Chain A
Amino acid sequence: MSFDANHIGFVLGSYAISALVIAGLIVMHIMRARRHDRRLGELESQGAPRRKPRETATK
């Protein structure tokens, strides 16, 4: 890729915004998963029943 080419700013801008949005998506999903895991852990440590294994639950 030539950095002296015409319109190179549009190319770099496209890759930069794609990287930004994709990184945002990844971070958002990881943070949300961690937040939910932490909250569920708190609730279970406060006495909320854990999910029973399927075999036990259907007996």
Chain B
Amino acid sequence: MFAIGLYLALVVAPADYQQGETVRIMFVHVPAAWLALMIYSVMAASSIVAIIWRHPLADLAAKAAAPIGAAFTFLALVTGSLWGKPMWGAWWVWDARLTSMFVLLLLYLGYIAIWQAIEDPRRAARIASIVAIVGFINVPIIKFSVEWWNSLHQPASVFRADGPAIHSSILWPLLVMAVAYTLLYIALHLVAIRSELVGHRIRQIELARADAA
């Protein structure tokens, strides 16, 4: 899927009449930004399941998603910055969309830090879940920031009530790359959840041995 997406993005898609070749940055920037929001939503939903139903897998699923989400948020910010310099003339502006995405990165890093800093996994899970749920308020802020405040960032151009505002020659490569990114995320998340389960089993065995010793 990545091979098809990259072929469409780099070979088939035309240069934009205003942005020129820099429009190709959108094919890696936009899917990364979408995934950054989607993964945080998955984390928040898992945290709700963990807090309400105390399902042990929900904590591990949220924990496993965080580094992946942080990586995609980082990519969205860096590729956005690489697009912003030639198009806006600045690497960074404290614009509502950019700032709220930066806050999302801090939320991911804070969530990861909680798991690293607190030794008791149950306590870490509880605090991390609360942070993930409270932090979810930032997701709609990111989504609607371009409508609520004056922003340099362009408004939504794909998911709109009146249909996409971009030409199909740009839209299709973007959607194929988004599917490729999403499949990669699903695969990585499944591997990470399995790793967390094995890690949990290792901790159980080591604790049992320490108790017996």
Contacts and interface: CB of A to CB of B under 8 A. Distances in A.
Contacts of B22: 7, 10-11
B113 interface: no
B195 A36 contact: yes
Nearest to B22: A7
A10 B83 contact: yes
Interface residues of B, number: 36
Nearest to A19: B28
B29 A14 contact: yes
Interface of A is mostly: helix
Contacts, number: 90
Nearest to A20: B75
A15 B188 CA distance: 20
Interface string A1-38: 11001111011011101100110111011101100110
Given A1-B11, A5-B15, A21-B74, A36 B202 contact: yes
Interface of A: 1-2, 5-8, 10-11, 13-15, 17-18, 21-22, 24-26, 28-30, 32-33, 36-37, 39-40, 43, 48, 51
